[in-house]
């Protein structure tokens, strides 16, 4: 599994001519990193003097972030598996009309799965923007830059995942499916842009950049 590789191995695999891991898996990784950073900041806030009133909230965030981190770690492989499914479908035989239809249906189903996988990542990353925003505002101020990076990693994950949805939708002939997903990713994108802007405006260090 890709998620079991050492960092150096994962990077080498990404840099190779092998099409996986690609942008979809990297987007899932970015979201998982956002979750990990938020989890860490919440963790170093719990029990910290001066943050007692936020202790329950930070404890809850630690749990939520951990759950999302674990889910997104699985998504690193899920995205690559979906892409591999499409490649296998294109390799199916076309020697008879029945095989052509079977191949066409397999490609369609593969492309749908390859669209739904990054859509799931985008939605989880949008939730992580809210979580990161909470640790920016209420978390340990000594770790505010870590929280800020969590925000930006979540935003990157959303953009990357949306791009991977869109490129797959271009090849899908199911109009209702395409329109539904286009509407969903548009909503996610607009929410993400506003959330990121609002959160980063609260960080004093960002104003001096």
**Angle between the N-to-C axes of helices 175-200 and 144-169, in degrees from 0 to 180, rounded to the nearest 10:** 160
- How many structural domains does the chain have? 1
Taking the C-alpha atoms of residue 193 and residue 197, their distance in angstroms, rounded to an integer, is 6
Taking the C-alpha atoms of residue 55 and residue 39, their distance in angstroms, rounded to an integer, is 13
pLDDT tens for residues 30-89? 999 999 999 999 999 999 888 999 999 999 999 999 999 999 999 999 888 888 888 899
- Evaluate the omega torsion of the peptide bond into residue 209 and state whether it is cis, within 30 degrees of 0: no
Quick one: pLDDT band at residue 6, thresholds 50, 70, 90? very high
* C-beta separation of 14 from 24 below 8 A: no
Residue whose C-alpha is closest to residue 189's, from 112, 126, 104, 110: 126
What CATH number is associated with residue 123? 1.20.120.680
Taking the C-alpha atoms of residue 22 and residue 136, their distance in angstroms, rounded to an integer, is 30
Taking the CA of residue 187 as centre, how many other CA atoms within 13 Å lie in the half-sphere pointing to its CB?
A: 8
Neighbours of 58 (CB within 10 A): 23
- Tokens for 93? 């035989």
Residue 6 lies in a domain: no
pLDDT tens for residues 121-172? 999 999 999 999 999 999 999 999 999 999 999 999 999 999 999 999 999 9
**Angle between the N-to-C axes of helices 144-169 and 23-45, in degrees from 0 to 180, rounded to the nearest 10:** 160
Taking the C-alpha atoms of residue 69 and residue 203, their distance in angstroms, rounded to an integer, is 24
- Tokens for 99? 């095989």
For the cut 70, the answer to whether the pLDDT of residue 25 exceeds it is yes
Residue 3 lies in a domain: no
Please give the pLDDT value at position 208: 46
Residue 11 lies in a domain: no
Indicate the Cα dihedral angle 72, 73, 76, 81, nearest 10°.
Answer: -100
For the cut 80, the answer to whether the pLDDT of residue 207 exceeds it is no
Residue 7 lies in a domain: no
Please give the pLDDT value at position 1: 85
Please give the pLDDT value at position 209: 47
Taking the CA of residue 41 as centre, how many other CA atoms within 13 Å lie in the half-sphere pointing to its CB?
A: 29
Residue 145 lies in a domain: yes
Determine the structural domain holding residue 52 and report its residue range.
20-207
At residue 112, the 3 state secondary structure works out as helix
């Amino acid at each position: 599994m890709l998620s079991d590789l050492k960092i150096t191995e994962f990077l080498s695999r990404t840099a190779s001519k092998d099409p996986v891991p690609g942008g979809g898996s990297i987007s899932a990784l970015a979201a998982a990193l956002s979750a990990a950073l938020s989890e860490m900041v919440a963790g170093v806030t719990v029990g910290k003097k001066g943050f007692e009133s936020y202790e329950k909230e930070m404890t809850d965030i630690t749990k939520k972030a951990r759950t999302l981190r674990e889910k997104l770690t699985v998504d690193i492989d899920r995205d690559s598996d979906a892409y591999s499914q499409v490649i296998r479908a294109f390799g199916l035989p076309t020697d008879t009309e029945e095989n052509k239809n079977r191949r066409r249906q397999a490609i369609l189903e593969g492309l749908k799965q390859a669209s739904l996988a990054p859509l799931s990542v985008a939605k989880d990353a949008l939730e992580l923007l809210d979580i990161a925003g909470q640790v920016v505002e209420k978390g340990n101020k000594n770790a505010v830059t870590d929280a800020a990076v969590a925000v930006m990693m979540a935003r990157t994950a959303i953009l990357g995942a949306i791009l991977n949805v869109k490129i797959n939708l271009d090849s899908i002939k199911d109009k209702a499916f395409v329109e539904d997903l286009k509407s969903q990713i548009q909503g996610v994108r607009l929410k993400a842009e506003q959330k990121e802007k609002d959160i980063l405006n609260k960080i004093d260090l960002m104003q001096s950049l």
